Amino acid sequence: MIFVPEIIEKKKRGKKLSREEIEFLIKGYVEGEIPDYQMAAFLMAVYFRGMDEEETTYLTLAMASSGERVDLSKIDGIKVDKHSSGGIADTTTLVLIPLVASCGVRAAKMSGRGLGHTGGTIDKLESIPGFKVELSQDEFVENVNRIGAAITGQSKNLVPADKKLYALRDVTATVDSIPLIASSIMSKKIAGGADKIVLDVKFGRGAFMKTYEEAKALAELMVKIGNLAGKETVAFVTDMDQPLGLAIGNSIEVIEAIETLKGNGHEDLVRLCLELGSEMLLLAGEYKEKEEAENALKENIKNGRALTKLKEIIAAQGGDERVIEDYSLLPKAKYTLEVYPGNEGYIKEIDALRLGLTAMKLGAGRQKKEDNIDLGVGIWIYKKVGDFAEKDKPLARILANDREKLNWAVKEVVESFLLTGEYVPKRNVIWAKITGKEIIEYKVKVR
């Protein structure tokens, strides 16, 4: 017979838990038989004592089995999922899904909504008039088989253990535990039904993991969990010390994604999409060499096939495909204001977190899950680290529906950019690639 206090005591003393103990704990908590105060004690024990790879895998699998699991077996071919740990101006999914689908990979993507300073793909897609973000499993499968891609919101019954545990972690100061973060992310990926998984683990001011070392440790653990669970998993450790793209908002991130597929994307966003996309093509077996896969992605941006695929996704999910050419159909802000630097010089740092929080307070994000989002507001930035800022040229443009918030945001945006008179090199977006066999660290951290 298993008793909860004994499990807590065991973990408190740093001993390894068995699969049966972990499964008992998760099942009992989801079914309401184990109270919050006992689970909170367990989470704090894990926070201080940690879990080894095997324990974390047991926890991940128990969480993945706590609700319904998505069956993608009716979708033809190998299904490759991509997950980002979240960041600022991270429009990757909106570019990547049509891009890889245009090269023959079945892209079945379940995405979430934003909370706090990180944007949610589903919120961005709701900027498109008529776009249906909630598909039944049959609709989801049918769209992927017919046009090669679909993006839908996560089922409410997917991994209920994670929803309960995350809410408890949030109020018990146990969020920043690597085993708990890894099991939270990977349980959703495993329950999502994909055959292979590509992870984008971010670090820096705008990310949850603040240092490269923390993000690398998390990425290594998630790759091991994925492989132990029978899902070939590859992770990239990427920079979020500054915004990834140039748009921070919802409708404007849709615009940036469209422009990227038209061949006008910022080099950082394009580089990351090509890297993640190449890996997805390789894992799906569409290509054998990375260079060949990357060239196929570049060609489909150049010849317009990737953009056409985005148009097909929008139309298949009830959206107005005319937004591809007519951005006036997207939600717009009432007020816009361009922001200029106080002096000139090279941009040394950009506070991605401050910009993300500013956009959130303008209405582009949620402070609480029940908050409504203003789809038209946000911030366009015109410069990245290493660029030269001139006094008479704007750094950014603020979009707002409240004049008081607009005026407040000016100082926040200007002070998010740190300038220097000395030359500053541009930052690398990708710092490491981690597979089940090797860790490739990029020697040059700036470019």
Instruction: List the catalytic residues.
Output: 83, 162, 169, 184, 188
Is residue 359 within a helix (H) or strand (E), and if so which, with residue range?
A: helix 352-359
* CA dihedral of 394, 398, 402, 403, whole degrees rounded to 10: -10
Residue of 54, 38, 46 whose CA lies nearest to 6:
38
CA atoms within 13 A on the CB side of 72: 25
Q: What's the CA gap between 348 and 89, in Å, rounded?
A: 19
Sign of CA dihedral 261, 264, 268, 269: negative
Q: What's the CA gap between 371 and 170, in Å, rounded?
A: 17
Beta strands at 149-153 and 107-111: parallel, antiparallel or unpaired: parallel
Per DSSP, 386 falls in state T
Query: Per the structure block, which two tokens stand in for 372?
Result: 């409504």
Q: What's the CA gap between 107 and 314, in Å, rounded?
A: 14
User: CA dist 29 to 33, 192, 313, Å?
Assistant: 6, 22, 39
Residue of 323, 234, 324, 223 whose CA lies nearest to 276:
234
User: CA dist 211 to 205, 237, 240, 296, Å?
Assistant: 9, 11, 10, 33
User: CA dist 161 to 26, 29, 198, 415, Å?
Assistant: 7, 8, 23, 40
CA atoms within 13 A on the CB side of 88: 30
Q: What's the CA gap between 388 and 384, in Å, rounded?
A: 9
Q: What's the CA gap between 339 and 398, in Å, rounded?
A: 7
Largest CA distance in the chain: 73
SS3 content of the chain, % helix, strand, coil (to 5): 45, 15, 35
Contacts of 356 (CB under 8 A, 6+ apart): 88, 116, 117, 118, 206, 243, 248, 365
CB 190 within 8 A of CB 231: yes
